[in-house]
Amino acid sequence: MKRAGPAKEIEIIGEADVQGANYFYHFKAPNDRWYLRNQELAKRENPICDRWLVRPDKDAHFLIIGEDFPGQMDVGAYQTAVLSNLEKAATHVEVLQTGSLFENYEQSRRVHARATVMGLSIDYTFGLVVIGNQAFQFIGFASEAEFPSLAGEYQQMFDSLTIGEK
């Protein structure tokens, strides 16, 4: 991949699928305005991050977290834990909408939430998936003002998502 941006902090994705670093999943970035954050820098900011995409012109992010559990995890319990973590990091957390991420897979959820982080209103779209003893968070977030213009792009990433294959 070619490098772009200051201090080689981001990588151009191009036409290739974004591949999981430590987990088997892949998806397409919706356009060439999304970049892959340097893995070392992403891990420094969030140690459990597997991949982190950014769209600098909108200050938008798409973060992927993969987790291994000793036993099976229920997606409902996982959703509760994810939202609990958001409540610890933010104030005024409001769940705006919930549903299924994958229509024919009951261990998946889609959650749209809004929270105040350091005085800013941020919208989040979570794609949560549990497969066996692995759980995934696909998290898109941007300011409340920018989020509506990005919702379709987040949806495109979710629609192109395949888990369990390289």
- Residue spans of the domains in the chain: they are 3-163
Of 49, 46, 53, 9, the C-alpha closest to 30 is: 53
What size, in residues, is the chain?
A: 166
- Could you give the 3-state DSSP secondary structure of residue 32? coil
Q: How many H-runs (helices) and E-runs (strands) does the chain carry?
A: 3, 12
| Structural tokens at position 27 | 């998806």
- The set of residues, in sequence order, having a beta carbon less than 8 Å from that of 85 and lying 6+ positions away, is none
pLDDT in tens, 54-82: 999 999 999 999 999 888 889 999 999 99
Q: Tokens 């995934």, residue? A: 136
pTM, to two decimals = 0.91
- Which CATH entry fits the domain spanning 3-163: 3.40.50.1100, 3.40.1000.10, 3.40.50.10090, 3.90.1150.10? 3.40.1000.10
Element (H, E) at 42: helix 39-45
Mean pLDDT is lowest, of 4-18, 33-47, 79-93, for 4-18
- Check residue 104 and give its pLDDT: 87
- Give bridge partners of residue 49 from the DSSP assignment: 65
